[in-house]
Structure 1
Amino acid sequence: MADEEAARKTFEKFDRDGDGFVTAVEFQQAMVELGDREYTVGLAEAILRTRDADTDGVLTFEEFFSRAKDV
């Protein structure tokens, strides 16, 4: 349960507008804030595509957490 709680807190940091979805722009902005100044929206889009199970272009918490458990 603690893993899910930690994952939820991390997801919320990436979900900048709080709508329950992480877009490529939100992902990129969070990565830049974490210190990766070279992180592009294009790279964020590519990463999201590898985790976006329903291919809707955004990452839900369920997709995020499901993949986090696999790693």
Structure 2
Amino acid sequence: MDRANVSGNRIKEARKRANLDQVELAVALEVEYQVKITQSDISEIERGIRGVKDYELDYISRILNVDPTWLLRGNNNEI
């Protein structure tokens, strides 16, 4: 199966480093940016099943305090 996104693993890593669970990330997206993404959506994004819209990736990066380019490409630098 082809992956629907390339950032899922890094989103999961950054979310865990931020000490947020999937529900907390989903709530933060809705409260801070009025973006409705469910816990199930977050799970599917992290597993590469669901794609991520550009604005979703931007907001996720803001909440997780990481560079959106890192979420897309990764690198050897620390988050």
TM-score interval, normalised by the smaller of the two chains: 0.3 to 0.5
**TM-score for the superposition, normalised by structure 2:** 0.34
Please identify which structure carries the higher strand content: 1
* Larger RCO (CA under 8 A, 6+ residues apart): 2
**TM-score for the superposition, normalised by structure 1:** 0.37
